[in-house]
Amino acid sequence: MPAARVWLLLLLLSPALASAELLRLVANPWPPFNDQELPGKGLASDLVEQALKRVGYSTSYVEVPWERAVLGLKRGDYDVLINAWYSAERTEYGYFSQPYLVNRIRLMQRKGGSIRFENLADLYPYSIAVIRGYAYSKKFDSDPRLLKVGVGSFEIAARMLHAGRVQLALEDELVARHVLARELSSIRDELEFLPLPLSENGLHILVRRSHPYFREIGRRFDAAIQAMRNDGSYAATLQRHAP
């Protein structure tokens, strides 16, 4: 048996799992990834809870605004923030798992449009609806030559795009598909993604460093996600949450 599989088996069967330690999970509402109204509380919540259960942890789960989630992790109110992008600043108070999902940030145009995107300069002639306060990519966020139109939600951005008030809109692909399949089903077929993503960001759990076993939690989680990929339960979960 390969050494990696031996290590994974020992990890999953470790006696330390018998304690079924409770981990307090937190996320900000972000459908379809995190939403208490969705099956499994959303795709990301479902994957994380399944993985942690596999390696012996019990969990509780709450949703709060992003700023409160981060503050709560720092103060020790929560143990695991389940929907974090990597940043060096966050490593000061949290331990990152390996990415268990990828957020693909994509541009949308009206169907049949002629806009082509390979680099940021291709976007300079066009107005782009962006959600206020969001970070998309360092280069995109800091480029003053881009004509960005701030809006409050992707639903607003898509409606403006459909009405011709902007020429492009930006959103995570799964978030956009979720909203288009529900609130915007009437205009879904009149919008389309550009082929290339603007950016791709790994989605991680972030374990508070003040937890005495923060590294162990992260490593066990990584092992469980790999086991789920190997046995097909990861793919089955993605399919279950497909819009």
32-86 pLDDT, tens per residue? Answer: 999 999 999 999 999 999 999 999 999 999 999 988 999 999 999 999 999 999 9
d(CA 187, CA 181): 9
Contact criterion met (CB below 8 Å) for 105 and 138: no
* pLDDT attached to residue 3: 45
The pLDDT tens digits for 169-213 are 999 999 999 999 988 999 999 999 999 999 999 999 999 999 999
Q: pLDDT grade, residue 134 (50/70/90)? A: confident
Dihedral sign for Cα 143, 107, 205, 97, please.
Answer: negative
* For residues 134-159, average pLDDT: 92
Q: pLDDT grade, residue 17 (50/70/90)? A: very low
* pLDDT attached to residue 173: 94
DSSP string, 37-103: TSGGGSHHHHHHHHHHHHTT-EEEEEE--HHHHHHHHHHTS-SEEEEE---TGGGGTEEE---SEEE
The pLDDT tens digits for 215-226 are 999 999 999 999
Residue 236 has pLDDT above 60, yes or no: yes
The pLDDT tens digits for 77-102 are 999 999 999 988 999 999 999 999 99
Estimate the crossing angle of helix 43-54 against helix 214-231, to 10 degrees: 100
d(CA 220, CA 5): 13
Structure tokens, 143: 């480029």
* pLDDT attached to residue 4: 47
d(CA 153, CA 184): 12
* pLDDT attached to residue 57: 96
Q: Which domains does the chain have, with CATH numbers?
A: 3-101+201-240 (3.40.190.10), 103-200 (3.40.190.10)
Helix (H) or strand (E) holding 199: strand 191-208
